[in-house]
Amino acid sequence: MSSSIPPLTLDSIRSVPKVLLHDHLDGGLRPGTVIELAEAHGYSALPSTDVAELGRWFREAADSGSLESYLETFAHTCGVMQTEDALVRVAAECAEDLATDGVVYAEVRYAPELFVERGLSLDAVVEAVQAGFAEGERRAADQGKFIQMGTLLCAMRQHARAQEIAELAVRYRDHGVVGFDIAGPEAGFPPTRNLDAFEYLRTNNAHFTIHAGEAFGLASIWEAIQHCGAERLGHGVRIVDDIKTDPDGTVHLGRLAGYVRDRRIPLEICPSSNVQTGAASSIADHPIGLLARLRFRVTVNTDNRLMSGCTVSSEFAALVEAFGYGWADLQWFTINAMKSAFIDFDRRLDLINNVLKPGYAPLV
C-alpha cells in the first residue's frame, strides 16, 4: 500500500461516500430527541430521561439475543413519534446524521401504521416524514454535505394492513417513496400472509424487499423470493444454511443459495443488529465474511442506529477489523448497494460514476 493512501480508521471511513439500504427511521433517533419529544408530548414511559443513560438502555435492551425482545425497545421510539412535528424532526435529524456519516444515498424505512395512535392519517404520516427528509437534505447541503433520501414503507408482519400500506407506497411513489418492505417478528408470520399485497405491487411495477432469513431460516428466504417476488432480502444471512464447506475448504452452494447468488439478489446485511438478536454470534463469525468471499451481492447496513449504537462507518470499521477489508472492499460494498437501490437506473449510474467512483479513486 502506498504511503499516500490513508489507513482505514473510523474518521477516514466517514470521509468516503457510502450508500445505506436498510435503516429504520424509528430505530435511529438521537437519544436526546427521544427525551425532548417525550417531554413535549407527555410520553411518560421512558426508562430514563438522562441522554447517556437512555442511549445505553436502548443498546443494552436490544442486546437481548432474540428478535422479539429486541423489537420491544421500539415501543419508546414509536411512542414519541405520534405527531407531525415529531415525525418531521426525527426524519430531518435522520438525514442530517446520515449525511454527517458520509452517506450520500439512503433508503430509510418505517411502518406508517405505528404512528397513528393520536389520530394522524397514514397519508399525513408519509407527508410529514417526506417533509422532514427534505428539510434534512437541505440542512446537510447547508453544511456542504450531499445526501439523497429515499423512503421504504413497511407493513408489520403481525398486523393485517399490508395491502393498505402497499397502496400507500404506490400512491407516494412520485413523492420520494421508492419501495415497500415487511418487518416485525419473523417466526410465525411467514411473508406469504401478504401475497395479495405483493401481487398488487408487482402488478404496479413497484419495488419491494422483505425482512427474511434473520430470525428464521431458509424457508423464509425461499418464500420471500419465490412466492412473494422480493427483489432484495432484508438481512438474508441465513442463506449460509444452504452453503456447505468441506474440511479442505471446497464450498458447495445449495439450489437456493445458488439462485440468490446467480440472480444477484441483494442481501441487506446488518452485522451489529444480527449479533444483538442472536442471528450471528459475533462480527468476526458473521456469515458476511463467507458471503462476500463468494461474491454474493452483499451490502452493509445499520438496521437500527440507536439500538446498535452504530453508523455505516462504524459497521465498516468493525468489518475492517474482523476481516481485514481494504478500501477496494468498501468500494465494492458501496457500489453493490448503489446498484441495488430502488431508484431509477440512470440516477444510480449517475451516483456511481460521479460520486462513488471519484470518492474512492484516490484510495483504490
Ligand X SMILES: O=c1[nH]cnc2c1ncn2[C@@H]1O[C@H](CO)[C@@H](O)[C@H]1O
Which residue number, 111 or 206, has a Cβ lying nearer to ligand X?
111
User: Does the annotation flag 76 for ligand binding?
Assistant: no
Chosen from ligand X, Zn ion, none, partner binding at 184 (C-beta under 5 to 8 Å by type): ligand X
Instruction: For cell 427474511, name the residue.
Output: 212
Min. distance of Cβ 214 from ligand X in angstroms? 5
User: Does the annotation flag 22 for ligand binding?
Assistant: yes
| Number of Cβ within a 10 Å radius of residue 66 | 15
Residue nearest to Zn ion (CB): 303
Check if the beta carbon of residue 28 is closer than 8 Å to that of residue 129. no
Residue 214 catalytic? yes
Give how far the C-alpha of residue 157 lies from the chain's centroid of Cα atoms, to the nearest Å.
Answer: 17
Check if the beta carbon of residue 333 is closer than 8 Å to that of residue 315. no
Residue 337's nearest CA partner among 270, 286, 273, 266 is: 266
Alpha-helical segments (H) within 224-344: 255-262, 271-277, 288-293, 305-308, 312-323, 327-340
Binding to Zn ion (CB under 5 A): which residues in 302-321?
A: 303
Which residue number, 151 or 331, has a Cβ lying nearer to Zn ion?
151
Check if the beta carbon of residue 288 is closer than 8 Å to that of residue 273. no
Check if the beta carbon of residue 297 is closer than 8 Å to that of residue 336. yes
Which residue number, 24 or 145, has a Cβ lying nearer to ligand X?
24
Min. distance of Cβ 56 from Zn ion in angstroms? 22
Rounded Cα distance between 81 and 33, Å, is: 10
Cell numbers at 239, concatenated: 442463506
Chosen from Zn ion, ligand X, none, partner binding at 134 (C-beta under 5 to 8 Å by type): none
What is the binding site for ligand X (CB under 6 A)?
24, 26-27, 67, 71, 74, 78, 109-111, 114, 154, 183-184, 211, 214, 273, 303-304
Which residue number, 301 or 336, has a Cβ lying nearer to Zn ion?
301
Our finding on whether 214 is near Zn ion (CB under 5 A) is: no
* Given the residues 113, 127, 214, 223, the one annotated as active site: 214
Min. distance of Cβ 71 from ligand X in angstroms? 5
Which DSSP state fits 7? P
Which residue number, 35 or 156, has a Cβ lying nearer to Zn ion?
156
Which residue number, 233 or 341, has a Cβ lying nearer to ligand X?
233
User: Does the annotation flag 211 for ligand binding?
Assistant: yes
Chosen from ligand X, Zn ion, none, partner binding at 111 (C-beta under 5 to 8 Å by type): ligand X
User: If 0-12 CB within 10 Å is exposed, 13-18 middle and 19+ buried, where does residue 201 land?
Assistant: buried
Rounded Cα distance between 268 and 296, Å, is: 11
Q: Which helix H or strand E contains 220, and what residues bound it?
A: helix 218-222
Check if the beta carbon of residue 122 is closer than 8 Å to that of residue 154. no
Min. distance of Cβ 184 from ligand X in angstroms? 5
CA angle 364/236/10 to nearest 5° reads 35
Min. distance of Cβ 181 from ligand X in angstroms? 8
Number of residues that bind Zn ion (CB under 5 A): 1
Chosen from ligand X, Zn ion, none, partner binding at 91 (C-beta under 5 to 8 Å by type): none
Chosen from Zn ion, ligand X, none, partner binding at 222 (C-beta under 5 to 8 Å by type): none
Give binding residues as ranges: 22, 24, 26, 184, 211, 303
In the complex, the residues that contact Zn ion under the rule CB under 5 A are: 303
Catalytically annotated residues: 214
